Amino acid sequence: MLDLVPLARFGDRVATGLLDVTGDPAALDSTGFWAVAADFEGRLTCARFADVREQPVPAPVPGAWRGPAAGDWTSSLDRAAYTAGVRRIREHIAAGEVYQANLCRVLSAPVGPDADVDALTALLARGNPAPYAGTIRLPEHGVEIATASPELFLRREGRTVESGPIKGTGRTEADLQEKDYAENVMIVDLVRNDIGRVCATGSVTVPELCVVEKHPGLVHLVSTVRGTLRDGAGWPETLAAAFPPGSVTGAPKSSALRIIDALETAPRGPYCGGIGWVDADRGVGELAVGIRTFWIDRACGDGPLLRFGTGAGITWGSDPEGEWRETELKASRLLAVASGTYEAMERD
């Protein structure tokens, strides 16, 4: 492995000069600039950096990133297992145990020992720009993440907290179905309840509901939930109330998590977790939902693996084959970028 210097990138901001690393969320209410990575399973890594400056993501350097070939990827759930999982969730819905659950699979492919997520970031910034793009490179702490997330998990400005759940995906707006709108409304209700646990009574509002947002290669339905934190509530309380994100679990969250645990065969890791930054000195921060996210797993006996997650929200109206196709749609462009074939396709 190369001697990879710790760094974090969020948009046009880069942080270097690692000071300390902790798993204690209370640190986010202390001082300094923090990069934050929370795995879906609950592992939290907060890294404080000394130097934060404005710097655009560099242009890709030819040969700096050698990604997997398109045929190198394997899936934790193949097509048959995934569609069977969708049918099983519909049985849980019919039994009244859950209204919806997010079913995900993790794709994996080998990469070289010199693989650097920051080099992948340069490709993602051009092939799949995203509003909550971010990179955290902490090899000694097992965190090497590059996300092209379109989804806001939590934003804090002083005492105001906001979330932007996504539910509903199509290639175009015309592809969005009644099921997509129903999913979004259900998750908005869940997020309202989550945030309401740490907000002042009556302060939680929904300024935007089911707004169509265009992203590279697809469209999403996005809503906004906003509230005012009650006295005494900081980052530890907010994360405890809202994590894991409702849009990637289901409703009710507790039932959905139990179903996910039974059906999914691989840990999600950074995928569907929280990835972002907190400026504790200014009392602001922004965490994305860790979707459209790559990470390098070096804890593998046969060499490092590049991993990527994809999934779909399952409701009573779900068609198993249609949900499988949605996971393919969400992954296709990003896997092409990571393999280096996307730019070639664009030139052709």
Instruction: For helices 320-339 and 117-127, give the axis angle rounded to 10 degrees.
Output: 110
Residues with a known catalytic role: 151, 167
**For the chain, what is the HEC assignment?**
CCCCCCEEEECCEEEEEEEEEECCHHHHHCCCEEEEEECCCCCEEEEEEEEEEECCCCCCCCCCCCCCCHHHCEECCCHHHHHHHHHHHHHHHHCCCCCEEEEEEEEEEECCCCCCHHHHHHHHHHHCCCCEEEEEEEHHHCEEEEEEECCEEEEEECCEEEEECEEEEECCHHHCCHHHHHHHHHHHHHHHHHHHCCECCCCCEEEEEEEEEEECCEEEEEEEEEEEECCCCCHHHHHHHHCCCHHHCEECHHHHHHHHHHHCCCCCCCCCCEEEEEECCCCEEEEEECCCEEEEECCCCCCCEEEEEEEEEECCCCCHHHHHHHHHHHHHHHHHHHHCHHHHHHHC
- Output the six-digit token pair for 140: 């000694």
241: left (phi over 0), alpha (psi -120 to 50) or beta: alpha
Single-letter amino acid code for the residue at 195: I
> Partners of 222 in the beta sheet?
166, 211
- Output the six-digit token pair for 172: 């175009």
